[in-house]
């Protein structure tokens, strides 16, 4: 008899002990009516009178909801909304007894939010405002769900399923846009290169011109100095004779240089041609002297 009583007590004690895992809460009902909650750790119930009716997790959960809708420009598509939520520890009663299906309630509010916002946008606006849409859905859920004991942590638009024809058209538009931008950039680069080459060519010609001008000026100055030396050494000679003598010397030096390079040069060699050349050289020297005088005055 005592053994039977002891066995009953042990059995009764075993039935009354409840181990509640971390991040969970047990809902205890007494004869079908809510009695209390058991938090993580060791708990007790009265066997046959009290039962653990529900086990509510406090961990963050996620619900993914597929919503079909259309935009203002009549594009029909399906999007997937992910909602992260959890139960308030002090509102476990509401989360269990005010809703028969928490997920269905979330879906209902998400449908209402999406269909009140998306039809006011065209497709481009929607793609550029996905974060704004997700925030609007979260705000709407955050207003409604706390009364059911649910805290909305975050919402995201995780997937958009467009018709294949529309995806192909959008990809073609983006491809054409990128090609146009590439061609414009290429044209601008070629234009800049042409401008730089033209500027470099102009600068090169300017420098070459300055070099030739300076070279000619130095040649004329050298000839002027040579005339001065001839005048000092040949005091009885006229200016014309001195100049002709210098021209003859330059002419011979030129012929020598041309001969060393194996070059055939056809030069008028008559007396009148030599006189014309001397005249031109004299005019150049006179002009160089005038330019030199003006430069010194400046």
Question: Residue 240: its pLDDT value, please?
Answer: 63
| 135-156 pLDDT per residue, tens | 888 888 888 889 889 999 998 8
DSSP 23: T
Q: Give me the domains of the chain, ranges plus CATH numbers.
A: 2-57 (no CATH), 61-162 (3.30.479.30), 207-297 (no CATH)
Question: Residue 26: its pLDDT value, please?
Answer: 93
CB atoms within 10 A of CB 27: 20
| 213-261 pLDDT per residue, tens | 777 667 667 666 666 666 666 666 566 666 666 666 666 666 666 666 6
| 169-205 pLDDT per residue, tens | 666 666 667 777 777 878 888 888 888 888 888 888 7
| 7-20 pLDDT per residue, tens | 777 788 888 888 99
Question: Residue 22: its pLDDT value, please?
Answer: 92
244's tokens? 């002709």
Task: Render the burial of 76-88: b for 16+ CB within 10 Å, e for the rest.
Answer: ebebebebebbbe
Residue 167's contacts (CB-CB under 8 Å, 6 or more residues apart) are none
Question: Residue 298: its pLDDT value, please?
Answer: 57
For the chain, the C-alpha Rg in angstroms (whole number) is 52
Output the CA–CA distances (angstroms, integers) from residue 140 to 102, 110, 133, 277, in the order listed: 16, 8, 11, 101
Question: Residue 202: its pLDDT value, please?
Answer: 82
Quote the CA–CA distance of 222 and 132 in Å, as a whole number.
84
Quote the CA–CA distance of 35 and 223 in Å, as a whole number.
126
DSSP 21: P
| 104-140 pLDDT per residue, tens | 888 888 888 888 888 888 777 777 778 888 888 888 8
């Amino acid at each position: 008899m005592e053994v039977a009583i002891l066995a009953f007590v042990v059995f009764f004690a075993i039935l009354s002990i409840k181990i509640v895992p971390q991040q969970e809460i047990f809902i205890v009902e007494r004869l079908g009516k809510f009695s209390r909650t058991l938090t993580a750790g060791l708990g007790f119930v009265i066997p046959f009178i009290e039962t653990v009716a529900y086990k509510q997790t406090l961990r963050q959960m996620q619900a993914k909801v597929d919503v079909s809708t259309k935009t203002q420009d009549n594009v029909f598509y399906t999007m997937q909304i992910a909602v992260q939520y959890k139960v308030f520890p002090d509102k476990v009663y509401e989360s269990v007894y005010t809703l028969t299906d928490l997920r269905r309630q979330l879906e209902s509010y998400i449908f209402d939010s999406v269909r009140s916002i998306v039809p006011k946008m065209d497709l481009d606006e929607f793609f550029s405002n996905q974060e704004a849409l997700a925030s609007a859905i979260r705000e709407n859920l955050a207003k409604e769900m706390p009364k059911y004991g649910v805290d909305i942590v975050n919402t995201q638009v995780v997937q958009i399923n467009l018709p294949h024809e529309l995806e192909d058209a959008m990809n073609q538009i983006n491809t054409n846009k990128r090609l146009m931008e590439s061609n414009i950039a290429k044209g601008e680069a070629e234009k800049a290169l042409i401008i730089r080459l033209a500027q470099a060519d102009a600068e090169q010609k300017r420098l070459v011109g300055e070099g030739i001008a300076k070279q000619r000026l130095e040649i004329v100055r050298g000839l002027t100095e040579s005339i001065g030396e001839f005048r000092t050494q040949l005091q009885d000679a006229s200016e014309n004779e001195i100049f002709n003598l210098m021209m003859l010397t330059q002419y011979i030096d030129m012929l020598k240089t041309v001969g060393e390079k194996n070059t055939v040069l056809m030069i008028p060699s008559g007396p009148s041609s030599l006189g014309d050349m001397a005249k031109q050289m004299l005019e150049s020297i006179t002009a160089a002297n005038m330019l030199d005088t003006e430069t010194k005055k400046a």
